């Protein structure tokens, strides 16, 4: 999803129905989904009344700290929101934290497990534009290759960190 409006919930439902018998992982970055547009054409963060429908049967969900904090209309803690996302059929919830790495939430034996995964420090002030997209692409690539969510988050963090270290025009 590039704009937050280019994929409908009905399209996601059709996709899930088509691949539910296959071993095809579905990773969803909620970044643009959580953005609205005001009458002046400006983007703003908004809660989603139907976030549970968007997350239903998605293998992994990616959000940053601000997005998970404001995901639902009713405010919950990060761990509570991750727990709700995991009960909808997901295998992992990833919260990206910029220079502080990422957190992976999983459900293990009906218990929510939190793993904080650091990244290598980047010197200077990196341009963070597009790093979430790099993280998501690297995560899905590695997830398919290794089937380990921890390994995939670690790899994705390293890829985003490496991209942050390069000048913007070289990404």
| Model pLDDT, residue 4 | 67
CA distances from 47 to 2, 26, 31, 78 (A): 18, 22, 12, 14
- Give the residues across from 43 on adjacent strands: 37
Which of 18, 26, 29 is CA-nearest to residue 143?
A: 26
| Model pLDDT, residue 1 | 57
40 close to 110: Cβ distance less than 8 angstroms: no
Pairwise CA distance, residues 134 & 123, whole Å: 19
- Looking at the domain assignment, is residue 35 inside a domain? yes
The domain of 109 spans 9-170
pLDDT mean across residues, the chain? 90
- SS3 assignment, position 150: helix
- Looking at the domain assignment, is residue 2 inside a domain? no
- Looking at the domain assignment, is residue 3 inside a domain? no
- Looking at the domain assignment, is residue 4 inside a domain? no
Which backbone phi and psi does 106 adopt, to 5 degrees? -135, 165
Pairwise CA distance, residues 163 & 82, whole Å: 27
- Number of folded domains that form the chain: 1
Mean pLDDT of 13-37: 87
Mean pLDDT of 9-20: 86
Q: What percent of the chain has pLDDT over 90?
A: 57
The helix (H) or strand (E) run that includes residue 51 is helix 51-55
Whether the pLDDT of residue 160 is over 70: the answer is yes
| Model pLDDT, residue 150 | 97
- Give the residues across from 116 on adjacent strands: 103
The more confident residue out of 9 and 113 is 113
Provide the CATH number for the domain around residue 23.
3.40.1190.20
| Model pLDDT, residue 137 | 95
Mean pLDDT of 88-101: 94
| Model pLDDT, residue 60 | 95
Q: What is the pLDDT of residues 63-91, one digit of tens each?
A: 999 999 999 888 899 999 999 999 998 89
Q: What is the pLDDT of residues 116-146, one digit of tens each?
A: 999 988 887 777 888 999 999 999 999 999 8
- Looking at the domain assignment, is residue 1 inside a domain? no
Pairwise CA distance, residues 164 & 30, whole Å: 21
140 Cα distance to chain centroid: 11
Which backbone phi and psi does 90 adopt, to 5 degrees? -75, 155
The more confident residue out of 77 and 22 is 77
| Model pLDDT, residue 171 | 53
Establish how many alpha carbons lie within 13 A of residue 125's alpha carbon, considering only the half-sphere containing its beta carbon. 0
What's the pLDDT band for 38 if we cut at 50, 70, 90? very high
Give the Cβ contact number of residue 101 at 10 Å: 20
The more confident residue out of 6 and 162 is 162
- Looking at the domain assignment, is residue 134 inside a domain? yes
- Looking at the domain assignment, is residue 66 inside a domain? yes
- Looking at the domain assignment, is residue 32 inside a domain? yes
């Amino acid at each position: 999803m590039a704009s937050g409006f280019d994929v409908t919930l009905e399209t996601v439902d059709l996709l899930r129905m088509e691949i539910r018998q296959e071993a095809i992982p579905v990773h969803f970055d909620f970044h643009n989904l959580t953005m609205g547009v005001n009458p002046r054409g400006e983007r703003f963060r908004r809660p989603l009344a139907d976030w549970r429908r968007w997350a239903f049967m998605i293998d992994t969900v990616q959000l940053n700290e601000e997005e998970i904090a404001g995901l639902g209309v009713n405010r919950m803690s990060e761990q509570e929101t991750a727990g709700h996302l995991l009960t909808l059929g997901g295998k992992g919830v990833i919260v990206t934290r910029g220079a502080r790495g990422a957190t992976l939430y999983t459900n293990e034996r009906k218990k929510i497990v939190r793993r904080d995964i650091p990244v290598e420090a980047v010197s200077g002030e990196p341009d963070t534009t597009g790093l979430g997209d790099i993280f998501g692409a690297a995560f899905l690539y590695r997830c398919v290759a290794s089937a380990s969510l921890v390994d995939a988050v670690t790899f994705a963090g390293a890829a985003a960190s490496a991209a942050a270290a390069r000048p913007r025009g070289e990404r």
